[in-house]
A and B are shown apart, each in its own frame.
Chain A
Amino acid sequence: MVARYLKLFGLEETYELLEANERKIKKSIRVNSFNIKPHKLIKRMEENGFEFSKIEWDKNGFYIDKEPYSIGATSEYLQGYYYIQKAASMIPVNILDISQNDIVLDMCAAPGGKLIQAADIMNNNGCIIGIEYDKDRIKSLRSNISRCGIKNAILFRMDAAKFPEFNYKVDKILLDAPCTGEGLIPFDTSRKKSRSFEDIITCSSIQIKLLNAAIESVKIGGIIVYSTCSIAPEENELVINNFLNKGKIEILDTGLKWGKSGIINVFGNAISEDLLKAKRFYPHKNGTQGFFVCKLKVVN
């Protein structure tokens, strides 16, 4: 893993990344503003000893600066007023340009953070189709959306790659693809050794299958936001590059002023320069988990 980082980032940045991977990353929450105004919730929580600071890229997102007791055991949490969500994970929904009456497909929906965020932006209108294959994870998804009072979701337990069989086109798609989770090392240091190059290749083939299904499932002109919590180019830029040559998609600017541009020289191989429009987040640069996000438009 370190050898790969050295090739991708050089010595100095690799050192910074490895060092940042050893530091704790701030926990964060996102307020469900259709249930409570964010300032009201923050005031209530601060009265109970919590302290927060704003997340720059989400008006309802807050870092937890002080947590006197578990943020997952407050009565406000039980009321569904917020969801515990990693800061970078709030980005994909924010760049999806969701409108209230859209039909949105969340292809890998559990445990529900992005689905709940989308429902919040849609003010519980429109429709979100959530797909999850794993039996236990879909139970947790159901519990989370119930707690948060989401009523505009339809959940299917199935392989998201089979969604095109429905022959149903949606307006927007969130594809937070299953990945090696290399970017989550600050939260789980066992990932340093538990993921191999073979895992990257396995994930990459699943990601290509899912992105292909997403392209088949969105209306022409529709938007797909592809994201992973991996920093491996094989799971990110190379997955998207695979489809750019086929003329079905184009990459849109995310409009984000945060994050680094996508990588266009992957281990000595040049790929489409359009991938500079993708964004990468790192613990040493942004104080978040390692994260990749790319906004795509289906053109053909």
Chain B
Amino acid sequence: MINFKELSNKELAQINKSLNYFGGLIFDTLIKSNIFLINTKIKKEIFLIPKNNYEIFLKFKNYRVPYYLGIYFGDLKNESLFFSLNSLQVINNLTTKKIMVNKQGELKFIYGKNLQKKHIIKIFSNFNPLDKMIIINNKNEVLGLGKTIYPINIKFNNNIKIKNIIDIGWYLRKGN
């Protein structure tokens, strides 16, 4: 059984810090109408739940613990947030930490493969080695999360290798 509870200030600060990398206002925007909950049964799973649903959750809490609620936002590990596919969709339009790929890159990435320069069609920010970025297709749809091996310049003049951290192909490979 999963145990859900509200996050401590320390845990909230860790999430704020992780979100801050993608954009300074994301955390505040999210907590205006939602609440973060944590389930610590096996690992520290973070869920984002609309405030009205949180009130309903409280009514059930003493009878039975939910299996799942709101959206799964990621895992808290080593004091930082490991983003879920749902959380990437939530923050996609609030960040410039992303890279757009062509059709070939899209197919490669959703099959769990890494990306190279020939797959990239637009870079929205500069990135340092090991920086993470949301990978999107040419329709601004989230494909997953990547991590760069080399520095990436917005002017596009570097060697590029982006490692696949998580991608939407997961729903087919492991989801069902």
Chain A, 159-212, CB within 8 A of any chain B CB: 165-166, 168
Bound state CA distance, A129 and B57, in angstroms?
A: 10
Bound state CA distance, A143 and B57, in angstroms?
A: 20
Q: Is A242 an interface residue (CB 8 A)?
A: no
In chain A, what residue has the closest Cβ to B89?
A149
Query: Is B64's CB under 8 angstroms from A158's CB?
Result: yes
Q: Is A138 an interface residue (CB 8 A)?
A: yes
Chain B, 56-83, CB within 8 A of any chain A CB: 56-57, 59-60, 63-64, 66-72
CB-defined contacts of B175 to chain A, threshold 8 Å = 140, 143-144, 146-147
Query: Is B68's CB under 8 angstroms from A165's CB?
Result: no
Bound state CA distance, A127 and B169, in angstroms?
A: 28
CB-defined contacts of B68 to chain A, threshold 8 Å = 142, 145, 153-155
Query: Is B50's CB under 8 angstroms from A151's CB?
Result: yes
CB-defined contacts of B60 to chain A, threshold 8 Å = 154, 156, 166, 168
Query: Is A140's CB under 8 angstroms from B176's CB?
Result: yes
Say how far A243's CB is from chain B's closest CB, in angstroms. 26
Query: Is B50's CB under 8 angstroms from A154's CB?
Result: no
Q: Which of B53, B72, B110 contacts A127 (CB 8 A)?
A: B53
What secondary structure prevails in chain B residues at the interface with A?
mixed
Query: Is B53's CB under 8 angstroms from A154's CB?
Result: yes
Q: Is B168 an interface residue (CB 8 A)?
A: yes
Bound state CA distance, A151 and B72, in angstroms?
A: 9
What secondary structure prevails in chain A residues at the interface with B?
mixed
CB-defined contacts of B66 to chain A, threshold 8 Å = 154-156
Query: Is A146's CB under 8 angstroms from B56's CB?
Result: no
Say how far A168's CB is from chain B's closest CB, in angstroms. 6
CB-defined contacts of A73 to chain B, threshold 8 Å = 172
Q: Which of A132, A140, A145, A156 contacts B64 (CB 8 A)?
A: A156
CB-defined contacts of A150 to chain B, threshold 8 Å = 71
How many residues of B are in contact with the other chain, CB < 8 A? 32
- Tally of contacts, chain A with chain B, CB under 8 A: 82
Bound state CA distance, A158 and B1, in angstroms?
A: 11
Q: Is B86 an interface residue (CB 8 A)?
A: yes
Query: Is B56's CB under 8 angstroms from A154's CB?
Result: yes
Bound state CA distance, A158 and B172, in angstroms?
A: 26
Chain A, 43-72, CB within 8 A of any chain B CB: 72
Query: Is B176's CB under 8 angstroms from A155's CB?
Result: no
Bound state CA distance, A166 and B62, in angstroms?
A: 9
Question: A73-B172, A144-B176, A166-B64 in contact; A153/B86 too (CB < 8 A)?
Answer: no
Query: Is B168's CB under 8 angstroms from A78's CB?
Result: yes
Say how far B50's CB is from chain A's closest CB, in angstroms. 6
Q: Is B141 an interface residue (CB 8 A)?
A: yes
CB-defined contacts of B70 to chain A, threshold 8 Å = 151, 153-154
Q: Is A75 an interface residue (CB 8 A)?
A: yes
Residue among B59, B89, B169, B171 having the largest count of chain A Cβ atoms under 10 Å = B171
Listed in ascending order, the chain A residues whose CB lies under 8 Å from chain B are 72-73, 75, 78-79, 103, 126-127, 129, 132, 138, 140, 142-147, 149-158, 165-166, 168
What are 25 A-B contacts defined by CB distance under 8 Å?
Answer: A75-B110, A75-B141, A78-B172, A79-B168, A103-B56, A127-B52, A132-B67, A140-B175, A142-B68, A143-B175, A144-B175, A144-B176, A146-B84, A147-B168, A147-B175, A149-B71, A151-B70, A153-B70, A154-B70, A155-B67, A155-B68, A156-B60, A156-B67, A158-B64, A166-B60
The 9 A-B residue pairs whose C-beta atoms are closest, nearest first, are A143-B175, A78-B168, A155-B68, A154-B69, A157-B67, A155-B67, A147-B171, A151-B71, A127-B53
Given contacts A154-B69, A166-B64, 11 further A-B contacts (CB under 8 A): A138-B67, A140-B175, A143-B171, A143-B176, A144-B175, A146-B86, A146-B175, A149-B89, A154-B53, A154-B66, A155-B66
